[in-house]
Amino acid sequence: MYKKITWAAMALLLTVSAAHADLEPWTDYESSEAVWLLTTIKVKSNMGDAYLEGLRNTWIPGNKVAQELGQIESWSIFRSQFPNSGDFNLLLVVKLAKTEDMAPNKARYDAFMQKFTKKMADETTEYAQKNYPAMREITGDYMLREITIK
């Protein structure tokens, strides 16, 4: 009987603790206005450097132009030191100041295309379509916000 009462008391205590632990947004934590677009990629064995070379000629130039124009805040590439473990081994990350920066905008598009040029866009698309399928698989896309606990 004593064990049943003890277990019941512990269950009640856990329930009360869980209910009390709920955090309130803007009171207990804040979400950033900035958003990070994160793409997880599984680069195939022995293709890591070839894929990075491709990014140097396709993904990076476009991000540099977007950053120069103030359309993105930053971009990063992260590679796992354990390339054959898990569902992905490379991350492509782009930081935007706010969600609205993802919305279609003709003025931003025109400014980007004026600097990046249609020729460069066509060349990067052709390279990516021809080479990337043999090098990698995109395993996920995420939109993240930084959480600051108060």
> What is the pLDDT, as a whole number, of residue 5?
59
Q: Residue 11 falls within a domain, yes or no?
A: no
What value does the mean pLDDT take over residues 77-90?
Answer: 94
Give the C-alpha distances (Å, rounded to integers) separating 54 from 2, 81, 111.
68, 20, 24
Range of the domain at 85: 26-149
User: Could you tell me the end-to-end alpha-carbon distance of the chain, in angstroms, rounded to an integer?
Assistant: 43
Q: How many domains does the chain have?
A: 1
CATH number of the domain residue 118 falls in: 3.30.70.100
User: Does some domain include residue 43?
Assistant: yes
Q: Is 8 inside any structural domain? A: no
- pTM comes to 0.82
Q: What is the mean pLDDT of residues 69-96?
A: 96
- Per-residue pLDDT band at 85 (split at 50, 70, 90): confident
* 2 confidence band (pLDDT: 50, 70, 90): low
For residue 13, what pLDDT is reported? 56
